[in-house]
Amino acid sequence: MTGLLGVAVSGLLGVPALRFFSYPLRRETVHGGEEPIAVADLARLPEGVPVRAIVVAPARYDAWVRIDRVALGAVWLLRRGSTVTAYSSVCPHAGCFVDFADKKNCFQCPCHGSVFGLDGTVQDGPSPRPLDTLDVEVKDGKVLVRYQRFRQATSRKEAVG
Contact map string, positions 67 to 106, toward other proteins, x by CB under 8 A: xx--------------------------------------
Measured from the CB atom, the residue of 18 and 160 that comes closer to other proteins is 18
Site for other proteins contains 66 (CB under 8 A): yes
Contacts with other proteins: how many residues (CB under 8 A)?
24
Least distance in angstroms from the C-beta of 56 to other proteins? 16
The closest alpha carbon to 151, from 76, 61, 63, 91, belongs to: 91
Pairing between strand 99-101 and 83-88? unpaired
DSSP per-residue letters across 5-55: HHHHHHHHHHHHHHHHHTHHHHS-SEE---S-EEEEEGGGSPBT--EEEEE
Contacts to other proteins by CB under 8 A: 1-2, 5-6, 8-9, 12-13, 16-17, 19-23, 26, 59, 61, 63-68
